[in-house]
Amino acid sequence: MLRSLTQLVRPGGIFVFQEPTWVPLLAFAARFPLWSKLLHVIHEAFLRSSVNPEMGIALYRMFQEVGLPTPAMHIETPLGSDANFTSLIWEVAASNTVVSFVPMVGVWARKPMST
């Protein structure tokens, strides 16, 4: 799909994507046994259904494979302790700390100008 998009964007145009990365989330949740188990079950379901839960990180290589420059990247991780974050599992609510949702990797690069 990315290769096809390179044909639609004019030279100098910008490619921007935001995709998840589960590795930091799984590590962050490790201190909460129930929360961690739930996240691992979801992660495993993604893997078994051929969804790439590390697509955000994979875009670094993919941009270059289709002839785009090495992309600029960053990770945004929503953190919280309010009801929106803690209502899922009492364990998190009782922890008196913040928890994370799935970090999102922002990836962008400018299509090279024609020579």
- Residue 78 scores a pLDDT above 90: no
For residue 19, give the nearest of 96, 114, 105 by alpha carbon.
Answer: 105
Look at the pTM and tell me if it is higher than 0.85: no
Calculate the average pLDDT of the chain: 89
What's residue 89's pLDDT? 64
Domain ranges (residues) in the chain: 2-7+16-110
Q: Where are the alpha helices (DSSP H) in the chain?
A: 2-8, 23-29, 33-48, 55-65, 83-86, 90-93
Q: How many CB atoms neighbour CB 39 within 10 A?
A: 20
Beta pairing, strands 79-80 & 99-100: antiparallel
Please report which confidence band the pLDDT of residue 88 belongs to, taking 50, 70 and 90 as the band edges: low
